[in-house]
Homo-oligomer: A and B are copies of this chain.
Amino acid sequence: MNVNRQWRLARRPKGAVQETDFAWTEDPIPSVGEGQLLVRNLYLSLDPTQRGWMARDTYVPAMEVGDVVRSFGAGRVVESRHPGFAAGDLVEGGVGWQDYLLTDGGGLLPLSKLPPDSDIPLALGVLGLNGVTAYFGLLEVGRLKPGETVVVSGAAGATGSVAGQIAKIHGCRVVGIAGGPEKCAWLTSVAGLDAAIDYKGERVDRRLRALCPEGIDVFFDNVGGEILDAALASLARQGRVVLCGAISAYNEKVPPPGPRNYVSLIPRRGRMEGFIVLDYQERAGEAVAALSRWVREGKLKHQEDVQEGLENAPRTLLRLFEGRNLGKQLLKIADPRTDDPE
């Protein structure tokens, strides 16, 4: 098994991302040079932002056609000639869609710095970029205040599910928007939100008006499109829209129309603001400490959707755009105890 199986970008997606946008290759496992280390990847993190990386320069340069698909994930160091890492260390970072990562350590973080009670799926989701994104998005960008009315879209997703619960922990009234009764049931019965709206079966605008008669103080948006428009229509005076993502637009060939109700930001004195979690990198420890404590105290529930097998990477990414994941979408590509492929 001296093979490094890899998924490479075969072409830039046009419209909906498809399995045929990727090409499977098999190369020998590379040998480790001075200052390098080799990581056996165990879990891949599937994130909507990858769709952007494939298409164009965004907050990071685009990946190139032919590149191993860029991806967050976690693995175990199997060989190290790097002073900062030793064989056996668990690491997370930009591991790519492949069995093995050869790296000089740039962008890798030791997983051992994470709390002892956390496992890899937790570390990649609630205590990883998703949790940190929700934390700073709500508290810094959204300036959340206790008692406010908060609405989260993509509320059963990796980031949204944390955002809704952080708002609850801060004494807010929280409504989650998600697709389908299963996700909505999870939001109210497990995550403890005050209400859930099923955008696939309900009129979001009407339900928001009914559930938030005094208006929405903070809307944490992962979705965009009509859901953002509905939230803007119900925005409270001095309401804040935290733009975390816009998954409804990522697969469109031309950007879909923007929110016509943006004009209501004027009479409502509203604010709509985008952010990228990377800007809070230096303060990530603060967020991870709080998130870990909340998980330990049972205040922050988490849910991972773990698929298996590197060969399933493209179709696991597609699950995000089909709204099939409940919680953090992960792909387990090797057994963490044996490093054997799943």
Which A residues are within 8 Å of any B CB, using their own CB?
58-59, 224, 229, 243-246, 249, 254-276, 279
Contacts and interface: CB of A to CB of B under 8 A. Distances in A.
Given A266-B276, A270-B274, A274-B270, A229 B244 contact: no
Query: Copies per complex?
Result: 2
Nearest to A262: B258
A280 to B, nearest CB: 11
A163 to B, nearest CB: 15
Contacts of A268: 274
Given A243-B265, A271-B271, A272-B272, A257 B260 contact: yes
Contacts of A243: 262-263, 265-266
Contact of A267 (B58, B256, B271, B273): B58
B246 A263 contact: yes
A243 B256 CA distance: 21
A260 B228 CA distance: 12
A273 B238 CA distance: 9
B255 A260 contact: yes
Contacts of A249: 263
A73 B246 CA distance: 45
B261 A258 contact: yes
A185 to B, nearest CB: 30
A69 to B, nearest CB: 20
B255 A224 contact: no
Given A255-B263, A264-B274, A267-B274, 8 more contacts: A58-B267, A245-B266, A256-B260, A257-B260, A266-B276, A269-B273, A269-B279, A270-B274
Contacts of A257: 257-258, 260
A279 to B, nearest CB: 7
Given A258-B257, A258-B258, A272 B265 contact: yes
Contacts of A254: 260
Contacts of A264: 274
17 contacts: A59-B266, A59-B267, A224-B263, A246-B266, A254-B260, A255-B260, A257-B260, A262-B272, A264-B274, A266-B274, A267-B274, A267-B276, A269-B273, A271-B272, A271-B273, A271-B274, A273-B273
